[in-house]
Amino acid sequence: MIAALKQQVRGANLELVERGLVFDTFGNASGIDRDLGLVVIKPSGVPYGELSPDDMAVVSLESGEHLEGLKPSSDTPTHLEIYRSFATVGGVAHTHSTWASSWAQAHRSIPCFGTTHADYFKGAVPCSRDLTGQEIAGAYEKETGRVIVETFEALDPDDVPAVLVASHGVFTWGRDASRAVLHAAVVEQVARMAQLSLELSPDLGQISPQLLDRHFLRKHGIHAYYGQANG
């Protein structure tokens, strides 16, 4: 089981490159086996083209202990906080993709202006608050995870499986690592579309709640009808 998860997570990390969401060794993707209580994540600082399944780092969800593979990503504590707090999450991705990270650096949530956004996120992609000096000086990566969780105190992480971390970048999640990567790609696309829309119409308002709900719910939830029944 863990061997299959290593293969899946390696593939998700390579997909980050294929989708143009990462450069150099920035970014990472992970997946979890909740029955085993194990998380598989990209090793720290290893070029994507050199990754093998055996290189993938395995850590304990509960303790964060490194159990197998190369040294795990420095962002591992952030991933673990997301898994511990959002019980339905099966995979997490992190990028510094250009358009979405620009919104994060501007400390702005990405508004939902149209149906492309609404097909994946039920409302704005939120931007977190700044970490305090004490949080930065302490367990920085763990505190980053905690500020993500804090951002979702009044939001459903299944409805909006993405967040911008202020001054930092993007974290997304989904039912598995590949879905988390897809959400990272969608965030990048809607971030670009939102910026261009505001350039064309600076006073643009967000999509109507009715149209937002229609597009989101036709793809998600018990009454979803988009796609094939066995998909």
**Residues known to be catalytic:** 119, 226
- What are the start-end ranges of the H helices in the chain? 2-18, 76-85, 98-105, 115-118, 133-137, 140-151, 177-200, 209-217
Q: Which residues pair with 171 in a beta bridge?
A: 94, 163
Residue 94, strand partner residues: 28, 171
DSSP per residue over 79-116, as a string? HHHHHHH-TT--EEEEE--HHHHHHHHTT--B---SHH
Distance CA 71, CA 183 (A): 26
Q: In one letter, which amino acid is 88?
A: T
- Rounded to an integer, what distance in angstroms lies between the CA atom of residue 43 and that of residue 36? 20
